[in-house]
Structure 1
Amino acid sequence: MAGHDHHHHSGEGFWHSGKGFWLDRAAILLSGLCLVHCAGSAALVALLASTGGAMFGHGVHEVGLALALAIGAVALGTGLCRHGALLPALVGAVGLVLMGVALMLPHGTPEMIATMIGVSVLAFGHHLNRKASLALS
């Protein structure tokens, strides 16, 4: 058809592997896994009325935060250099700070809530980063 753009934006699919967006997708997936971990831990605690076990230890959260910091720094930093939009990096940084604050809270509900909010904000930052990068395509 004349005058109609038939260009297909194959890079817009969430799991599309092109254009180097895999880190943002991996970070969003990691955030989702963290949410499942937090919600599952809360349900398991309610069922067992016990907070013992490796699933509930600070070590799991420390490893998760270290992974989030590493992936976030690379993905959000690369995105900032690519598209120049500061908002995704700022939103992602707020999420990472909230996750760090969660580690300083008493183990239990306050820590779980802060972590869930932090990973949600971080995932949104990665989503904004992907959208800003896709806008350049």
Structure 2
Amino acid sequence: MRDALQSIRLRLDRTGILLSGLCAVHCVLGVVLVGVLGLGGEVLLSPAIHRIGLMLALVVGGLSLGFGVLRHGRLAPLVIGGAGLALMGLAIAVGHGLPEAVLTVLGVGLVAIAHLRNISGHAAH
């Protein structure tokens, strides 16, 4: 049972890293394609995509980082990830454009770092 729970935790952290990377790519490509080429604005910069992504990040981040604290007792990944999720939330509030992309990329970067630290905490135990 313990191994199954650890496997689930690791999968959640890996999923969080994947979602963070996809979000960063989406933001950078969205700004480039829309800003430079004028392509795909209605799809790439859709507020619905950002809301869905943020909800997924909140669920995956909260679960995996919270489980990590329970498992290894280190609060740093949760604090770092929480700061990243807050930046992602702020990105939604500022509206479309470069500030949104910068905040989102910074946020997902912090969330990815938190997941990596969480994984290293799993490996240590």
TM > 0.5 between the two? yes
Query: Residue 25 in 1 paired to residue 23 in 2?
Result: no
Q: Tell me what 1:92 maps to.
A: 81
1:27/1:40 Cα in 2 relative to 1: closer, same or farther (>3 Å)? same
Equivalent in the alignment of 1:124: 113
Whichever structure has more helix as a proportion of its residues is: 2
Matched letter for residue 116 of structure 1: V
Aligned residues: CA RMSD: 1.7
Change (3 A) 1:72 1:51: same
Larger RCO, structures 1/2 (Cα 8 Å, 6+ apart): 2
CA distance in 1, matches of 2:51, 2:72: 31
Which residue of 2 is the match for residue 3 of structure 1?
Answer: none
**Contact kept? 2:9, 2:67, Cα under 8 Å:** no
The CA deviation at 1:55 is: 1.5
Residues 68-107 of structure 1 mapped to structure 2, 5 A cutoff: 68-107=57-96
TM-score between both structures, scaled by the size of structure 2: 0.89
Task: Give the number of equivalent residue pairs.
Answer: 120
CA distance in 2: counterparts of 1:67 and 1:40, whole angstroms: 20
Q: Deviations over 1:65-96 (max 9, x none)?
A: 00000001110111100000000110000000
- Unpaired stretches in structure 1, ≥5 consecutive residues: 1-16
43, 46, 53: which is aligned to 1:64? 53
